[in-house]
Amino acid sequence: MSNRFPEYNQLNLSDINKEMLKEWDEKQVFRQSLEIRQGHPQFVFYEGPPSANGMPGIHHVIARSIKDIFCRYKTMKGFLVNRKAGWDTHGLPVELGVEKSLGITKEDIGKKITVEEYNAACRTEVMKYTREWEDLTSKMGYWVDMSDPYITYDNRYIETLWYLLKELYRKGLLYKGYTIQPYSPAAGTGLSTHELNQPGCYRDVKDTTCTAQFLVKDPLPEWQQFGDPFFLAWTTTPWTLPSNMLLAVGKNIEYVAVQTYNPYSGEPMTAVLARNLLHAYFPEKNASQSLSDYKTGDKNIPYRVLDRVWKGSELAGIRYEQLIPWVKVTDKAFRVVTGDFVTTEDGTGIVHIAPTFGADDARVGKEHEVPGLTLTDKEGNLRPMVDLTGKFYPIEELDPQFVIEHINSDLYAEYAGRYVKNAYDDSLTEEDATLDVDLSVMLKQQNRAFRIEKHLHNYPHCWRTDKPVLYYPLDSWFIRSTACREQMIELNNSINWKPQSTGSGRFGKWLENLQDWNLSRSRYWGTPLPIWRTDDGKEEKCIGSVKELYEEMQKAVEAGVMQELPWKDLDLNDYRELDYDQIDLHRPYVDQIVLVSDSGVPMRRETDLIDVWFDSGAMP
Q: What are phi and psi of 481, to 5 degrees?
A: -60, -35
570 strand-pairing partners: none
CA distance 247 to 235: 12
Beta strands at 83-87 and 45-46: parallel, antiparallel or unpaired = parallel
Q: What are phi and psi of 457, to 5 degrees?
A: -145, 165
Query: Looking at residue 43, what is its pLDDT?
Result: 96
Segment 413-435, tens digit of pLDDT: 999 999 999 999 989 887 899 99
Query: Looking at residue 256, what is its pLDDT?
Result: 98
Within 13 Å and on the Cβ side, how many CA atoms surround 419?
A: 19
Burial class (CB in 10 A: 0-12, 13-18, 19+), 389: middle
CA distance 275 to 350: 11
- Residue 247 in contact with residue 273, Cβ under 8 Å? no
- Inter-helix orientation angle 92-102/115-125, to 10°: 110
Show the domains of the chain with their CATH numbers. 13-90+126-153 (3.40.50), 203-375+427-460 (3.90.740.10)
Q: Does an H or E element contain 353, and which?
A: strand 350-353
Biggest alpha carbon–alpha carbon distance for the chain: 108
CA distance 257 to 220: 10
CA distance 455 to 205: 8
Look at residues 564, 525, 522, 573 and name the one whose alpha carbon lies nearest to residue 545.
Answer: 573
Q: Does an H or E element contain 179, and which?
A: strand 174-184
Please report, for the chain, how many H helices and E strands are present, in that order: 20, 25
Query: Looking at residue 571, what is its pLDDT?
Result: 74
Q: What is the pTM of this model?
A: 0.81
CA distance 596 to 552: 8
528 strand-pairing partners: 609
- Residue 464 in contact with residue 187, Cβ under 8 Å? yes
Query: Looking at residue 198, what is its pLDDT?
Result: 82
Residues with Cβ within 8 Å of residue 193, at least 6 apart in sequence: 182, 514, 515, 517, 518
CA distance 154 to 93: 18
Burial class (CB in 10 A: 0-12, 13-18, 19+), 396: exposed
> What 3-state class would DSSP assign to 174?
strand
Query: Looking at residue 581, what is its pLDDT?
Result: 83
Query: Looking at residue 575, what is its pLDDT?
Result: 65
CA distance 620 to 611: 17
- Residue 522 in contact with residue 189, Cβ under 8 Å? yes
Q: What are phi and psi of 247, to 5 degrees?
A: -120, 135
Other C-beta atoms lying within 10 Å of the C-beta of residue 127: 16
Residues with Cβ within 8 Å of residue 35, at least 6 apart in sequence: none
Other C-beta atoms lying within 10 Å of the C-beta of residue 221: 6
Query: Looking at residue 200, what is its pLDDT?
Result: 86
> What 3-state class would DSSP assign to 451?
strand
Dihedral over alpha carbons 531, 534, 537, 543 (to 10 degrees):
-20
Burial class (CB in 10 A: 0-12, 13-18, 19+), 282: buried
- Residue 194 in contact with residue 181, Cβ under 8 Å? no
Query: Looking at residue 330, what is its pLDDT?
Result: 74
CA distance 576 to 568: 14
Q: Could you tell me how far CA 466 lies from the centroid of its own chain?
A: 13
Q: Does an H or E element contain 83, and which?
A: strand 83-87
Look at residues 548, 528, 537, 545 and name the one whose alpha carbon lies nearest to residue 588.
Answer: 528
CA distance 425 to 529: 31
Query: Looking at residue 2, what is its pLDDT?
Result: 61
Number of residues that make up the chain: 620
Q: Mark the ranges of the chain whose per-residue pLDDT is less than 70.
A: 1-3, 574-575, 578, 620
